[in-house]
Chain A
Amino acid sequence: KNQVEQSPQSLIILEGKNCTLQCNYTVSPFSNLRWYKQDTGRGPVSLTIMTFSENTKSNGRYTATLDADTKQSSLHITASQLSDSASYICVVKGSTLGRLYFGRGTQLTVWP
């Protein structure tokens, strides 16, 4: 069964600290993996997209890694800011029919 599991479910960190969010998937065959940031009540916004051959991709203070062999990805946030408080969603696109599989997200709260 194609699934995307994210951990932790929620996370609280202090402003300025770093954190890492995890995503494990079983989707096969695999096309690409995306990380989205979703502010409360808003639509998800794309942070990174990685294909099978890409191991690391950065977008400002966000760095995503992908290990296609172990089917694991991580999103590292550096020097967190209050505005980073949001849900971070891992989305895996399967090669068959291009179907997207969504994780349930990690709810990140950054405290001052």
Chain B
Amino acid sequence: DSGVTQTPKHLITATGQRVTLRCSPRSGDLSVYWYQQSLDQGLQFLIQYYNGEERAKGNILERFSAQQFPDLHSELNLSSLELGDSALYFCASSNPLGRLGYTFGSGTRLTVV
């Protein structure tokens, strides 16, 4: 157990639908990062939050949004889903010093049918 919890582990939904992925960071970590990993692709950075505020944005589509709540858990909202959105979505957290690196959750496997 890495200490980063992601739910659900698996999600199957239809095109056009909206889903919410949840991430609880490791205790003490203030930063949360979201990544997308499509089949045979590397990890693609989507967005970072630090202590409730958006810190950096990567290749995140306008149909996707995220937020970090006061208790530091984060949610990634994916809307108007397309077949190409099928992927593993990982959340990672890091501590304020960043010296321990990033700890990844086990991911949410999203399948859009």
Contacts and interface: CB of A to CB of B under 8 A. Distances in A.
Q: Is A bound to B?
A: yes
Contact of B104 (A43, A98, A99, A103): A43
A89 B101 contact: no
Interface in A86-112: 89, 97-100, 102-105
Interface of A: 34, 36, 41-46, 49, 89, 97-100, 102-105
A44 B106 contact: no
Q: Which secondary structure dominates chain B's binding surface? A: loop
Contact of B42 (A41, A99, A102): A102
B64 interface: no
Closest 5 CB pairs of A and B: A43-B104, A104-B42, A102-B43, A46-B101, A102-B42
A103 B37 CA distance: 12
Interface residues of B, number: 23
Given A97-B56, A98-B98, A100-B102, A45 B42 contact: no
Interface in B78-109: 88, 90, 92, 98-99, 101-107, 109
Nearest to A36: B104
B43 A44 contact: yes
B109 A89 contact: no
Contacts of B2: 43, 45
Contacts of A100: 33, 45, 102
B4 interface: yes
Contacts of B4: 43
A99 B45 contact: yes
A46 B43 contact: no
Nearest to B58: A99
A105 B88 CA distance: 15
A86 to B, nearest CB: 13
